[in-house]
Amino acid sequence: MEEKRILLTVSYDGTAYCGWQFQENGPSIQAEIEKALEKAVGTFIRVTGASRTDAGVHALGQRCHFDTVSGIPAEKYPFVLNRYLPPDIRVTESMRVPPDFHARFDAAGKWYTYRIHNAPHPSALYRHLTAHVPVHLDEKKMDDCAKRLLGAHDFAAFAAAVGQAKTTVRTIDAVSVTRNGTEITFKIHGNGFLYNMVRIIAGTLIYVGQGKLEGDCISRAIDSGNRLDLGVTAPACGLELTRVEYAFEQEEEKP
């Protein structure tokens, strides 16, 4: 039987999980998908994700690939796997890709979204999907500051110490901070992100929005490479991996 490589798009509410990656001591998204896949095709298959999202981080469009000799048509996996997956994980798309395609190494761009509930009291309805900031935030200042990220820079200051990236240079080509009532949404697109980079940027923008840090702190941190020029890492629950893109898709419209 011919072996096929399949690429999945996966959406999940990360609240109940210890993150994307398999861990001995807690439920992971990867393990849930591998269990569902085993039920669907009858054998254990290792799944490789595009991004190892942390505990509590959500995804609208995580991607992952696996190899199989199963006769299930490549585009039918959402229907097959959703039957076995818990309701906080949904496969939304599947397609066949070439045998040398790699979900992580071939990722050409990623969109992340960070959501802040900016009101005196936490949100009851979106408590798992937003970070709560009770102090009023100036979203215009945050947006101006975020624009300093644009371009190719050495983002060494923006990585958690445990990161193991070979280079800390990344290119950010779209970024915005907008407000809709009490909800502040920070969106960012780049060719790649260091470990905890988006949450460090979000935490920095939260500080800038309340006047705890100056608007030029991001430029300063890019120059200095010093993590201490930035704010604290914002909570995981506000973060969503919105989309992972590959070269064959980048002509399409961005979200």
Q: Does 129 contact a copy of itself by CB under 8 A? A: yes
Nearer to a copy of itself, 183 or 216 (CB): 183
Evaluate the CA torsion angle 156, 158, 162, 163 in order and state its sign: negative
Residues in 3-32 at the binding interface with a copy of itself, rule: CB under 8 A:
11-13
Nearer to a copy of itself, 126 or 195 (CB): 126
Q: How many residues bind a copy of itself (CB under 8 A)?
A: 25
Which segment (65-73, 96-104, 119-127, 163-171) binds a copy of itself by CB under 8 A? 119-127
The whole-angstrom separation of Cα 252 and Cα 106 is: 17
Q: Does 163 contact a copy of itself by CB under 8 A? A: no
Examine the residue annotation and report whether 154 is marked as an active-site residue of this protein.
no
The whole-angstrom separation of Cα 8 and Cα 80 is: 12
Q: Does 123 contact a copy of itself by CB under 8 A? A: yes
Report, in Å, the least distance between residue 142 CB and a copy of itself.
23
Q: Does 244 contact a copy of itself by CB under 8 A? A: no
Q: Does 161 contact a copy of itself by CB under 8 A? A: no
Residue from 76, 127, 136, 212 touching a copy of itself (CB under 8 A): that is: 127
Residue among 54, 106, 143, 229 flagged as catalytic: 54
Q: What letter represents residue 155's amino acid?
A: F
DSSP state letters, 161-196: TT---S--EEEEEEEEEEEETTEEEEEEEES---TT
CA distances (Å), origin 160, targets 6, 164, 216: 32, 9, 21
Q: Does 78 contact a copy of itself by CB under 8 A? A: yes
Q: Does 107 contact a copy of itself by CB under 8 A? A: no
Report, in Å, the least distance between residue 60 CB and a copy of itself.
7
Spell out the long-range contacts of 47-52 with Cβ–Cβ below 8 A and sequence spacing 24 or more: 47/8, 48/102, 48/103, 48/104, 49/20, 49/21, 49/103, 49/104, 50/103, 50/104, 50/107, 50/110, 50/244, 51/20, 51/104, 51/107, 51/110, 51/241, 51/244, 52/19, 52/20, 52/21
Which segment (16-24, 96-104, 124-132, 188-196) binds a copy of itself by CB under 8 A? 124-132
Nearest Cα to 184, choosing from 135, 111, 242? 135
The whole-angstrom separation of Cα 97 and Cα 247 is: 12
Q: Does 180 contact a copy of itself by CB under 8 A? A: no
Residues in 187-216 at the binding interface with a copy of itself, rule: CB under 8 A:
none
Binding residues (CB under 8 A) for a copy of itself: these are 11-13, 58, 60, 78, 82, 87-92, 119-125, 127, 129, 181, 240, 255
